[in-house]
Structure 1
Amino acid sequence: MAQIGIPGLILILVIALVIFGPKKLPEIGKAAGQTLREFKNSTKDLTDDVVDEIKDTKDVAKGKDNK
């Protein structure tokens, strides 16, 4: 994947400013931040569920071995 340098970032921001205007840009940034935060929380919850399920499965397997 190609690296985006400072000039590329500035170009993207200028294009976004021209397309969306100065009033909409903060709203779009806020919405993008909230979306990323929700995605991160959902991913963490899903990972925690899988880890808990693995631990439960190991506990059940250990319980069968001890009997």
Structure 2
Amino acid sequence: MPSDYSLPDVLEKLYENQQALEAAIMELTLLVEEQGAREVGGNVRGALWTMAPIDKDEKSQDQWAPGRDSR
């Protein structure tokens, strides 16, 4: 049975979804940090850092780096 989606299409959609989730999580992280929970923010940034694709440029990766403030 032929697939409706090719592997590259599926991988591209997964990557797009990952980026959308990262952005949403980062927005929530910024909100939590503004409310004083810096340690929680650092933990989330650490988790996002491990999810960052290898091919992201250094500037993009820095926003997810633990202990970094992206604002």
TM-score of Structure 1 vs Structure 2, range by shorter chain: 0.3 to 0.5
Structure number with the bigger relative contact order (C-alpha 8 A, sep ≥ 6) is 2
More helix as a share of residues:
1
Instruction: Give the TM-score taking structure 1 as reference length.
Output: 0.46
Instruction: Tell which structure's C-alpha radius of gyration is larger.
Output: 1
